[in-house]
């Protein structure tokens, strides 16, 4: 059984049904009266957390008050307050709760419904973490913040712009129109973006978003690309369209210094779903920093209609700081060359498709996802937990018969695919790369399907939550 180390005035473990009772302090400075008798302390503030699985991760969920229902909620307290945190086991796995900075760590609880608690004095100002110390549980998502001193500490968080691409921004289908001239305007920028809560990174982008805009044309169209490198950039940038037949996919004629604009025309000869990216040396750095997107060249007559379309791209960030570190992260050339990304993203940032943007469909609708890998290095095993792809347009091929009834599809760096599936049952459907360790570095998205249950297809028994995912 774990031993709890006393910090300042009090640090006491409460077990089981003592939640809400006074706390007896152990022998420490100020914890006894003049006759050697233990002093009873009552907490100034109490929080209750429940262990659970949400969005494919192990988490703490707030219970009651202004944290009710929040995942890994921020706990804000006054400096010097006596704090009690109750932990209730909501999933039946073994867990504990610890605050390493205050040297408190609860006993393990394993049975569903069992509980424990820690009590300590928040005797220093700042932001500190609470975690589950079981092996792998922090990496799986069981980490939150306690903010001592309130808003003063919270104001220290760095802020950047939202660079994440809205997955619903897919443009209008070309329909049955004939070939025409289309103009595409791209601006390359270098901006401080919000990577995660309390974490920023200096992204390089097309049009201030990662990925860049989803471009939609028709086979036979003549496409004019105008690429402007913003004047305050520090680097040369360019663009290479995999849909282009010509030198460098356009990169050979678009190497633009800050403040310059370069242009070219190309004819869309081949239908398909293609990646575009910056191709200025070193190319991998420009791509990793966010300079990638997709262009859809629809076949003659266009694509068949569906109810929902989404634009999703997978990318990698190589930073000197470890994943989960607060503050501004800096690019690491060493990790890029070793192909060791600290962060993996859908649509540019942590939580882009699980917190920032909502992907939603209704029961009975047909969903289409345009999926690509910016990379620059890792192959994706794209999978939607709880769904089977009715059709997979392998490697972005829109003219061959699609693959049918596919569980997971492989997409290379600089490659793309189009998948379609029906939505028969409501719930949360989690987008992942099925190299599932990558989920712990941020690679997760959520498709919310709403509507009536269909118990002929799926029926939960007991207290199983169909929205929890794996």
144: containing domain: 11-154
Higher pLDDT, 309 or 15: 309
Q: Percent of the chain, pLDDT > 70?
A: 88
Boundary of a domain, candidates 154, 178, 205: 154
**pLDDT at 34 exceeding the cut of 50:** no
Q: Is residue 4, in this structure, part of any structural domain at all?
A: no
Record the pTM. Answer: 0.78
Q: Percent of the chain, pLDDT > 90?
A: 81
| Per-residue pLDDT at 57 | 84
- When divided into structural domains, the chain yields a total of 2
| Per-residue pLDDT at 262 | 98
Question: 144 with 222, same domain?
Answer: no
Instruction: Write down the mean pLDDT value for the chain.
Output: 89
Instruction: List CB contacts of 350: < 8 A, sequence separation 6 or more.
Output: 195, 196, 197, 199, 343, 442
C-alpha–C-alpha distance, residues 372 and 295, integer Å: 10
DSSP code for 18: G
Q: Is residue 425, in this structure, part of any structural domain at all?
A: yes
Boundary of a domain, candidates 137, 154, 171: 154
Query: What are the distances in angstroms from CA 397 to CA 274, 357, 402?
Result: 9, 28, 8
Question: 146 with 236, same domain?
Answer: no
C-alpha–C-alpha distance, residues 348 and 442, integer Å: 10
**pLDDT at 20 exceeding the cut of 70:** no
Region 60-66: what's the mean pLDDT?
Answer: 93
Residue with tokens 């993996």: 344
DSSP code for 146: E
Query: Of 185, 193, 245, which is closest to residue 213 (Cα–Cα)?
Result: 185
Question: 165 with 98, same domain?
Answer: no
Q: Is residue 231, in this structure, part of any structural domain at all?
A: yes
| Per-residue pLDDT at 463 | 59
| Per-residue pLDDT at 296 | 98
DSSP code for 399: S
Residue with tokens 């601006």: 187
Helix (H) or strand (E) holding 391: strand 389-393
3-state secondary structure at position 466: coil
Q: Is residue 6, in this structure, part of any structural domain at all?
A: no
Q: Is residue 5, in this structure, part of any structural domain at all?
A: no
Name the pLDDT band for 14 (thresholds 50, 70, 90): very low
Name the pLDDT band for 29 (thresholds 50, 70, 90): very low
Question: 186 with 141, same domain?
Answer: no
CB 174 within 8 A of CB 216: yes
Region 342-346: what's the mean pLDDT?
Answer: 98
For 140, counting Cβ atoms within 10 Å of its Cβ (0-12 exposed, 13-18 middle, 19+ buried), the class is: middle
Boundary of a domain, candidates 99, 125, 154: 154
**pLDDT at 9 exceeding the cut of 50:** no
Question: 43 with 188, same domain?
Answer: no
Query: What are the distances in angstroms from CA 73 to CA 142, 143, 144, 409, 415?
Result: 11, 9, 6, 35, 38
pLDDT in tens, 311-339: 999 999 999 999 989 899 999 999 999 99
pLDDT in tens, 188-202: 999 999 999 889 999
Angle at the Cα of 244 from the Cα atoms of 398 and 333, rounded to 5 degrees: 100
Question: 205 with 121, same domain?
Answer: no
pLDDT in tens, 213-251: 999 999 999 999 999 999 999 999 999 999 999 999 999
Question: 111 with 206, same domain?
Answer: no
Query: Of 340, 342, 347, 346, which is closest to residue 330 (Cα–Cα)?
Result: 342
Torsion, Cα 380 386 391 397, to 10 degrees, reads -10
Domain with residue 52: its CATH number is: 2.60.40.420
Question: 414 with 266, same domain?
Answer: yes
Region 122-136: what's the mean pLDDT?
Answer: 93
Region 1-28: what's the mean pLDDT?
Answer: 36
**pLDDT at 465 exceeding the cut of 70:** no
Q: Is residue 3, in this structure, part of any structural domain at all?
A: no
Q: Is residue 262, in this structure, part of any structural domain at all?
A: yes
Name the pLDDT band for 158 (thresholds 50, 70, 90): low
SS3 content of the chain, % helix, strand, coil (to 5): 10, 45, 45
C-alpha–C-alpha distance, residues 97 and 104, integer Å: 8
Question: 330 with 439, same domain?
Answer: yes
Q: Is residue 451, in this structure, part of any structural domain at all?
A: yes
Question: 178 with 320, same domain?
Answer: yes
Residue with tokens 């049952």: 425
pLDDT in tens, 438-462: 999 999 999 999 999 999 999 998 7
Question: 244 with 318, same domain?
Answer: yes
């Amino acid at each position: 059984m774990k031993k709890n180390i006393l910090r300042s005035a009090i640090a006491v473990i409460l077990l089981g049904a003592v939640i809400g009772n006074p706390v007896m302090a152990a022998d420490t400075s100020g914890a006894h009266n003049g006759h050697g008798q233990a002093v009873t302390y009552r907490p100034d503030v109490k929080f209750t957390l429940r262990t659970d699985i949400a969005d494919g991760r192990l988490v703490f969920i707030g219970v009651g008050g202004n944290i009710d229902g929040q995942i890994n909620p921020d706990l804000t307290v006054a400096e010097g307050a006596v704090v009690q945190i109750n932990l209730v086991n909501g999933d039946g796995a073994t867990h504990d709760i610890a605050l390493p900075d205050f040297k408190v760590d609860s006993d393990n609880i394993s049975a569903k419904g069992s509980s424990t608690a820690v009590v300590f004095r928040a005797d220093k100002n700042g932001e500190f973490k609470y975690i589950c110390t079981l092996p792998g549980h922090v990496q799986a998502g069981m980490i939150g913040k306690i903010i001592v001193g309130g808003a003063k500490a919270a104001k220290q968080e760095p802020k950047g712009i939202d660079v994440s691409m809205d997955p619903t921004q897919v443009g209008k289908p070309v329909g049955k129109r004939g070939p025409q001239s289309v103009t595409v305007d791209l601006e390359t920028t270098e901006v401080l973006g919000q990577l995660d809560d309390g974490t920023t990174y200096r992204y390089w982008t097309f049009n201030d978003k990662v990925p860049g805009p989803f471009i939609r044309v028709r086979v036979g169209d003549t496409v004019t690309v105008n690429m402007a490198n913003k004047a305050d950039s520090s680097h040369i940038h360019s663009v290479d369209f995999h849909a282009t037949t010509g030198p460098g996919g356009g990169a050979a004629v678009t190497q633009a210094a800050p403040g310059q604009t370069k242009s070219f025309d190309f004819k869309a000869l081949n239908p398909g779903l293609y990646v575009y990216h910056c191709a200025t040396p070193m190319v991998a750095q420009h791509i990793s920093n966010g300079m990638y997107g997709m262009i859809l060249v629809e076949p003659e007559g266009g694509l068949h209609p569906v109810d929902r379309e989404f634009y999703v791209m997978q990318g990698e960030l190589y930073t000197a700081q470890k994943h989960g570190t607060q503050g501004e992260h800096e690019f690491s050339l060493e990790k890029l060359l070793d192909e060791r990304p600290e962060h993996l993203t859908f649509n540019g940032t942590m939580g882009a498709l699980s917190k920032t943007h909502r992907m939603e469909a209704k029961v009975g609708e047909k969903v289409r996802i345009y999926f690509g890998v910016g990379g620059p290095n890792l192959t994706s095993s794209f999978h939607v937990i709880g769904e089977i792809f009715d059709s997979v347009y392998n490697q972005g091929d829109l003219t061959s018969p699609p693959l049918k009834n596919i569980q997971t599809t492989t997409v290379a760096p600089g490659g793309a695919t189009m998948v379609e599936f029906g939505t028969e049952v409501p719930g949360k459907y989690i987008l992942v790369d099925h190299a599932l360790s990558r989920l712990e570095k941020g690679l997760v998205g959520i498709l919310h399907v709403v509507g009536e249950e269909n118990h002929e297809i799926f029926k939960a028994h007991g207290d199983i939550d169909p929205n929890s995912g794996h």
